[in-house]
Amino acid sequence: MKRIITATMAALILVLAFAGCGGSSVDLKKVMTDVNAKYSDATGGLKELKEVADLDKYYSIAEKDVKQFAAEINPDTSSAPVEIVLVEAVDKTASDSVKKALDARYQSIYSTYSSYSADQVELVKKCKVTQNGNFVTLVVASDYDGIMEIVNNAIK
């Protein structure tokens, strides 16, 4: 009887330990709200992408690969490039696919601004696409480091 109670208690402790290690979910819309609250000068006037289909339209990211996202882009291509795209992919394979699509977009931004704006291309050079587990981000903004600090703190 003592062995059964001991085994049951050990199993319960393991279940509770694993439940505690499950990690918290990250709400990317809230992360974007936090970014906008702190960096409204850099992010003001951006267009929010609201539908997963918009990711396919603007970035060729398949809807099936996206668990959740938050994205804002500057609709005025004549001004400084500003794009903030935060994606949680459904799995590692999808994450790799999303990264490939966002890398292609980054290269497109770089090519566009390198052809006619030395100041803007320097801004773009300081930015990049990152991948952390199933989270993939494209941030092109003057406050790249600060924005990425908020993003990284949320997804760690």
Residue 121: per-residue pLDDT: 82
Q: Which residue has the higher pLDDT, 127 or 16?
A: 127
| pLDDT, tens digit, 9 for 90 and up, residues 59-118 | 999 999 999 999 998 877 656 678 999 999 999 999 999 999 999 999 988 888 887 767
Residue whose token pair is 């208690």: 9
Query: Do the Cβ atoms of 131 and 108 come closer than 8 Å?
Result: no
Strands (E), the chain: 47-49, 66-73, 83-89, 128-132, 135-140
Least trusted range by pLDDT, from 15-19, 51-55, 106-110, 116-120: 15-19
135-140 β-sheet, strand order: 47-49, 66-73, 83-89, 135-140, 128-132
- pTM of this prediction? 0.80
Helix and strand numbers, DSSP H then E, in the chain:
7, 5
| pLDDT, tens digit, 9 for 90 and up, residues 27-52 | 999 999 999 888 876 556 788 999 99
Residue 81 CA neighbour count, 13 Å, CB half: 28
Q: Give the 3-state DSSP-derived string for 135-150, with helices as H, strands as E and coil as C.
A: EEEEEECCCHHHHHHH
- Widest distance between CA atoms in the chain: 80
Which DSSP state fits 63?
A: G
Amino acid at 130: T
Q: How confident is the model at residue 15 (pLDDT cuts 50, 70, 90)?
A: very low
